[in-house]
Structure 1
Amino acid sequence: MMTRLAALPMMLWIVLLLTGCNQDGGATNDKVKDDTPEHAALVFARSIYNDKNLDKALSLSTPRLQRILKNYHINSNVQRHVFNLPYEQVKIVADGGNKIGRAQFAENASVVLFFSGTYNDDRIEELRAVKLLRQDGQWKVDRVTANFR
């Protein structure tokens, strides 16, 4: 437990470096290919924080998560209750870890997303693990957690 807490400041520093280097405001991540779990996780999270409705997020979710999202009705409720991260403005970056070949053959995946933004004039930087399942050849988000196991 203590080693995880000790690693958190380093991970947050990496987030600052990554978001500072991104010139497009976090709209895309050039190193993430379209058919990867990282891409699905990014599009899912960005739709929660940037879209006006949950339609895109619902299309990228497993039936289990779709039921949960529908219960919260609006994006701000999903931010608050599913991600436990309300933001007014946010940049989201996927962990680019060295996972070559994993997406091609795996049936499940876990992606770490780095969140950096503001809420009530406070700067908030957090990490979330997004668990994905491959369903009908597409990556679907099954759950979002702060636990990285």
Structure 2
Amino acid sequence: MYKCLLIIVLSAATLMLSACDKAEKREGVGRYGMMESGTPEYTAIEFFDHVYHDESMEDVLRISSPKMARLIRNYKTNRNFQRHVLNLTYEKVEMMVDSGNNRMRSEFADKASVVIFFTGTDHGDKKEDLRTVNLIKIGGDWKIDEVEVDKFM
């Protein structure tokens, strides 16, 4: 009797674990890959990822509003943009979206604000900071319109 019960329990456990293995994997960005493309959070992280990790400004300009694109072009390089506009330079950086103030958004919204936390190093010193990113929807795509410095720091 005990052996039969043990076999049933083990079979049930194996069945449940194998069902978990077949779950669909979703693509996304962010610390746990939970952000999906087409959201303001995804666009904000993508923008800063290109600013800090790409040599070219092409992808940064692609996801910028016309107003932001004009500003970026004035600084010619990602490093100049980091130093003079963002006032936030890093050699190595990790970015994370503040999800604590996440309000439900309508798919018809045309403006959004996202807070991004930065943690990294610059000249061997650890630096942490945050920026608020204002986005607008242009032609169905989210574009970076403005980056604000934290008012409380």
TM over 0.5: yes
Matches of 2:63 and 2:92 in 1, distance apart?
A: 22
Pairing partner for 2:92 from 89, 93, 102: 89
Q: In 2, are the aligned partners of 1:36 and 1:103 still within 8 Å (CA)?
A: no
Q: Deviations over 1:97-124 (max 9, x none)?
A: 4636415121100000010000011100
Q: Which has the larger radius of gyration?
A: 2
In the alignment, the residues of structure 1 paired with residue 130 and residue 103 of structure 2 have an alpha-carbon distance, to the nearest angstrom, of 22
* More RCO (CA 8 Å, sep 6+): 1
Q: Post-superposition shift, 1:78?
A: 0.7
Return structure 1 stretches of 4+ with deviation > 2 angstroms: 96-101
Cα contact 2:51–2:60 (8 A) shared by 1: yes
Matched with 2:123 is: 120
8 Å CA contact retained: 2:29, 2:42: no
Query: What is the identity, as a one-letter code, of the residue corresponding to 2:39?
Result: T
Q: 1:143 aligns with which of 141, 146, 150?
A: 146
Q: Work out the percentage of aligned pairs sharing the same amino acid.
A: 40
- Distance in 1 between residues matched to 2:65 and 2:34, nearest whole Å: 25
Q: Distance in 2 between matches of 1:93 and 1:61?
A: 19
> How many Å separate the matches in 1 of 2:35 and 2:67?
26
Secondary structure, aligned partner of 1:125: strand
Q: How many residues align?
A: 123
CA contact (8 A) 1:107 1:133 kept: yes
| 5+ residue gaps, structure 2 | 1-27
Q: Aligned residue for 1:28?
A: 29
Which moved further from structure 2: 28-37 or 94-103? 94-103
**How has the CA–CA distance of structure 1 residues 117 and 83 changed in structure 2, closer, same or farther, with 3 Å as cutoff?**
same
Residue 38 (structure 1) aligned with residue 18 (structure 2): no
| Length-normalised TM-score, structure 2 | 0.75
Letter in 1 for 2:29: T
Partner of 2:60: 57
Mapping of residues 73-88 of structure 1, within 5 Å: 73-88=76-91
1:117–1:80 Cα change, 3 Å? same
Q: Contact between 1:37 and 1:103, CA under 8 Å: does it hold in 2?
A: no
